[in-house]
Amino acid sequence: MTHEVPAVVLLSGGLDSATLVAMAADQGFAPFCLTVRYGQRHGIEVQSARAVARQLGAPKHEIVDLNLRQFGGSALTDDIAVPKDTPRHEMGTEIPVTYVPARNTILLSLALAWAETLGANDIFIGVNALDFSGYPDCRPEFIAAFQALGRVATKAGVEGNDNLVIHAPLIEMTKAQIIQRGKQLGVDYSLTCSCYDPDDRGLACGHCDACVLRREGFERAGLPDPTIYQEVVNG
C-alpha cells in the first residue's frame, strides 16, 4: 500500500486511537500521529502511544506538552478520584468526572495547526458516542461544528479551498466492533493502555470505566484480552 496523502491522527495510546491509526492507514492515508501530554495522571499513555505509532508505521509522531492541570476540573487532570466499579447501566447517563473541559476542542485545534503546515486536509479523532455518550465533545454535532470551524480557520479557508474533513470513524461503533476491526488490521492491543488510573508500573486498575468497557469489549468480541491487570500480578 502506498501512503501518499498525509492525515493527522490523534493518538492517545488507548485502544480506540490505536485502531484509528490502523483505519487511517487502511484508507490510504499516511498517519502523522499527534499525542498531547496534557497533564494526565498517567504518563504511561505516552509510552503506549510511542509503541503504537512505531508498530503501525507512522511516518512521524509528534508529542506536544500542554498542562491542562492549570485549569483543572477533571478527575484526569485534578485531585478528583477516578470512579471505580461504576455499574454498567449507569455509564453514559451523565457526564463523568473524567471529562476534561474542552479537551477534544483543544486536541482538534492542535491537529488543525499541524494539518495546515503539512498541507493535510484530513484529521482523524477516535471519539465514540456509544460507550461514552456522556462526553459533550464526543457527539456527532461537536465533530460537525469543528469541521465547519476548521474550514474557515486556516489559509485554505480564506482561499476558498476548504476541503478539511474531520474523520470520526469509531463514533457509532461498539467497543467489540472496534477491537474486531483493529485485529483484522493487525493492531497489537498489548501495546495499548486504556486505564484511567494505572499504577506506577503502568498496569491497569481493572475497575475504572475505561477498564470495564475494555474488558467487556474483548469478551463480546470473543477475543483474548491482552491487558495485564494489577490484581492478576499482585494476587
* Helix (H), strand (E) at residue 166: strand 165-167
113 binds a copy of itself (CB under 8 A): yes
User: Which letter, b or e, does each residue of 58-87 get, where b requires 16 or more Cβ atoms within 10 Å of its Cβ?
Assistant: beebbeeeeebbeeeebbbbeeeebbeeee
Select 80 or 232, whichever has its Cβ closest to a copy of itself: 80
Angle formed by the axes of helices 175-184 and 15-26, nearest 10°: 50
Please report how close the Cβ of residue 234 comes to a copy of itself at its closest, in angstroms: 35
* Helix (H), strand (E) at residue 113: helix 103-118
Select 41 or 151, whichever has its Cβ closest to a copy of itself: 151
Per DSSP, the residues of 132-148 read TTT-GGGSHHHHHHHHH
130 binds a copy of itself (CB under 8 A): no
Select 25 or 100, whichever has its Cβ closest to a copy of itself: 100
Give the separation between CA 110 and CA 107, rounded to whole angstroms: 5
155 binds a copy of itself (CB under 8 A): yes
Tell me which residues in 173-192 interact with a copy of itself (CB under 8 A). Answer: none
Site size toward a copy of itself, by CB under 8 A: 45
Phi-psi region of 102 (alpha: psi -120 to 50; beta: other; left: phi over 0): left
106 binds a copy of itself (CB under 8 A): yes
CB 115 within 8 A of CB 165: no
73 binds a copy of itself (CB under 8 A): yes
Stretch of 18-26, 69-77, 169-177, 183-191 contacting a copy of itself, by CB under 8 A: 69-77
59 binds a copy of itself (CB under 8 A): no
- What is the binding site for a copy of itself (CB under 8 A)? 62, 64-68, 70-73, 95, 99-106, 108-110, 112-114, 116-117, 134, 136-137, 139, 141-142, 145-146, 148-155, 157-158
